[in-house]
Structure 1
Amino acid sequence: MFLNKFLSQSGISSRRKAVNEIKNGHVSVNGHVIKDPAFRVKESDTVTYKGKKIQQEKHIYILLNKPEGYITAVSDTHGHKHVMDLIDLRGKVRLFPVGRLDKDSTGLLLITNDGDLAQKLAHPKYEISKLYEVVLDQNFDSEFFAKLLQGIKLKDGISKADKIFYTKRSSRKKISIEIHSGKNRVVRRLFKSLGYNVVKLDRVEYATLSKRGLNKGEWRYLTGEEVKKLKARHFEYAEPVV
């Protein structure tokens, strides 16, 4: 295994950041400083980071149905509740949420210690799809469907929906929108640009994952098959240096 991948899978950092740590001389293998991220690590090797021995963590993948009132962070200094408060794991396990949902939004969050996977899921080039169900403050005019599919210019560039439809035929305030953009609060901003306020926003799908069967505030481990599908569908898992 490449040294930078070893650091990433040990929870030290993402694979890209691990490259810098290695090149800066912070990593040693069997007592020797190694500055080559592509150095091959064997099972018998002793790897240290800034003088401390590191070991590969077992990867953990958790699906959380985030309720309102929690920020997407691992800690907070301002007294806010954060999503890690909802996950009770024994022992010291370094976990972090992938992507974000704002405090007032609900729905699916992936939480893991797999830095390599998290980095790829967050990278724009992989265009990871997310499906949201939103409730608006007023009936949504169907003429705007085409505009959202074509793209709307926001302050940080053009964003568009991949799919959009009424969630229920009986209500024109409830909209389902699929989007791959990872821009901050992009769904709320898209509707705001058209004169609508989002009253509720719930993420129901993320990549190959669904929150079906999870009540708000509940979490579960991903199955081996779910992890396999998540990786196989979106990424070619070779061992690039960066």
Structure 2
Amino acid sequence: MRLVKLLANLGYGSRKEVQTAIRHGWVTDRDGKALKADSPTAHENILFDDEPLDPAQGVVVLMNKPLGYTCSIKDKGRLVYDLLPDRFRMRKPVLSTIGRLDKETSGALLFTDDGTFLHKVISPKAEVPKVYEVTLDRPMKGDEAALFASGGMMLESEVKPLKPAGLEVLDETHARLILHEGRYHQARRMFAATGNHVTALTRSRIGALGLDGLEEGGWKALSEDEKALIFAAE
């Protein structure tokens, strides 16, 4: 791919703006040599304004989403995209979230510009487990684990029962919930069906991929080994 198209697709500007940057010598190799529009240079050897390029197309990003941010660009207020570099919104293909976390849920959130990878993760056949740390308004009754694991639990206004879900009780108002599907506000609705109310919800793991110290609001591009953890169950 020509340098101008590569940089434009990564969101560094329009083709005209990228051409201007190249003419001014802002695009170099790691030895400091200014590159030209037709310079045959590997992605990892290109610097823009003395900084390495953003990840190439096919990137998968993990974010530790804070509370108060939404995933849909149609929503008003703070968006998860505000926590990424501005140019990420200009990438082609676009960078999309893999599933969503609602405004009042924090934790592990994935993004990618790879449509095939996105659908692989969210496919019902994949059954990628998502692990949530749950805080409840009142003590659990004691039968929640059996109910969630039954495979027969129905949510209000739905006609298909939930897939079996795992529940690890940590104490009377704290639990770890493992889901293998992603219905609308599923964790909250499951506990609501038992007469309880979720007061705090954090997604701590997707497959075997955890946050591993990633600070709140922080993000990182995943390595191939880390991407493979998404499809591995601990």
- In the superposition, the TM-score normalised over structure 1's length comes to 0.66
Equivalents in 2 of 1:229, 1:204: separation in Å? 14
Q: What SS does the corresponding residue of 2:78 show, helix, strand or coil?
A: coil
Residue type of the partner of 2:181?
S
Please say which of residues 121-130 and 158-167 is displaced more in the overlay.
158-167
What does residue range 93-242 of structure 1 map to in structure 2 within 5 Å?
A: 93=91, 94-151=94-151, 152-154=153-155, 155-156=157-158, 157-167=160-170, 171-230=171-230, 233=232
Please say which of residues 109-118 and 90-99 is displaced more in the overlay.
90-99
Once the two structures are TM-superposed, the CA of residue 230 in structure 1 deviates from its matched residue by 3.8
Residue type of the partner of 1:69?
G
Residue type of the partner of 2:132?
Y
Equivalents in 1 of 2:184, 2:100: separation in Å? 8
Once the two structures are TM-superposed, the CA of residue 161 in structure 1 deviates from its matched residue by 4.4
Residue type of the partner of 1:137?
D
Once the two structures are TM-superposed, the CA of residue 89 in structure 1 deviates from its matched residue by 5.7
Q: What SS does the corresponding residue of 2:201 show, helix, strand or coil?
A: strand
Equivalents in 2 of 1:160, 1:197: separation in Å? 21
Equivalents in 1 of 2:221, 2:126: separation in Å? 24
For residues 136-161 of structure 1, give each alpha carbon's deviation from its aligned partner in whole angstroms, at most 9, with x where no partner exists. Answer: 00011222221111131112221144
Once the two structures are TM-superposed, the CA of residue 214 in structure 1 deviates from its matched residue by 1.3
For residues 45-94 of structure 1, give each alpha carbon's deviation from its aligned partner in whole angstroms, at most 9, with x where no partner exists. Answer: xxxxxxxxxxxx62111100111111112x23x53211111111646322
Residue type of the partner of 1:178?
I
Equivalents in 1 of 2:192, 2:148: separation in Å? 12
Are 1:161 and 1:178, in contact at CA under 8 Å, matched by a contact in 2? no
Residue type of the partner of 1:134?
V
Paired residues, number:
174
Q: Tell me: CA distance 1:184–1:149, structure 2 relative to 1, closer, same or farther (3 Å).
A: same
Are 2:209 and 2:229, in contact at CA under 8 Å, matched by a contact in 1? no
Equivalents in 2 of 1:133, 1:227: separation in Å? 22
Residue type of the partner of 1:60?
V
Are 1:161 and 1:177, in contact at CA under 8 Å, matched by a contact in 2? no
Once the two structures are TM-superposed, the CA of residue 215 in structure 1 deviates from its matched residue by 2.0
The aligned residue for residue 59 of structure 1 is: 58
Unaligned runs of 5+ in 2: 1-8, 11-55
Equivalents in 2 of 1:79, 1:149: separation in Å? 37
Equivalents in 2 of 1:191, 1:63: separation in Å? 27
Q: What SS does the corresponding residue of 2:76 show, helix, strand or coil?
A: coil
Unaligned runs of 5+ in 1: 1-9, 12-56, 235-242
Q: What SS does the corresponding residue of 1:214 show, helix, strand or coil?
A: coil
Are 2:128 and 2:230, in contact at CA under 8 Å, matched by a contact in 1? no
Once the two structures are TM-superposed, the CA of residue 123 in structure 1 deviates from its matched residue by 1.4
Are 2:65 and 2:80, in contact at CA under 8 Å, matched by a contact in 1? yes
Q: Tell me: CA distance 1:99–1:219, structure 2 relative to 1, closer, same or farther (3 Å).
A: same
Q: What SS does the corresponding residue of 1:126 show, helix, strand or coil?
A: coil
Equivalents in 2 of 1:119, 1:193: separation in Å? 30
The aligned residue for residue 87 of structure 1 is: 84
Q: Tell me: CA distance 1:196–1:160, structure 2 relative to 1, closer, same or farther (3 Å).
A: farther
Q: What SS does the corresponding residue of 1:124 show, helix, strand or coil?
A: coil
For residues 191-237 of structure 1, give each alpha carbon's deviation from its aligned partner in whole angstroms, at most 9, with x where no partner exists. Answer: 00000010011000112311121121111111231124446x59xxx
Point out the structure with max Rg over C-alpha: 2
